[in-house]
Structure 1
Amino acid sequence: MERSKIVAVVTGAIALFLGIAYLVIVQFLDFRGEMLPAPQSQLVQPSVTIAQSWDNSDL
């Protein structure tokens, strides 16, 4: 076989492998069930403090 045909066959085989691997991964992730968001009650909410100064003596 010519070099270009060998490259085409190898590239096609790699593309098929990647496509099949992608489908297997998607099926596995879908098999795990519905993805639920994390419960909000267990998340730590950071507290924010805003301090404002009205000192105009520097003007």
Structure 2
Amino acid sequence: MKLVRVGEPGTERPGLICTGTPPGVGMGFKPPRFLKAGDVMRLGIDGLGEQTQTVVAYART
């Protein structure tokens, strides 16, 4: 597979594809929804596997 273009803005680097969600997307829900400490996110791809991440509180140091 040849990847021609991922999108903008951003810098493409060989062998690295990262995606994310822009800030404020949770505001589009009624009522607004945001991740909070203790929430569990699970991502899976059929035939590849699954990963689970638990949201933690931001700690300033």
Select the structure that is richer in strand. Answer: 2
TM range (shorter): under 0.3
Structure with larger RCO (C-alpha < 8 A, sep 6+): 2
TM-score by length of 1: 0.20
TM-score by length of 2: 0.20
* Structure having the higher Rg: 1
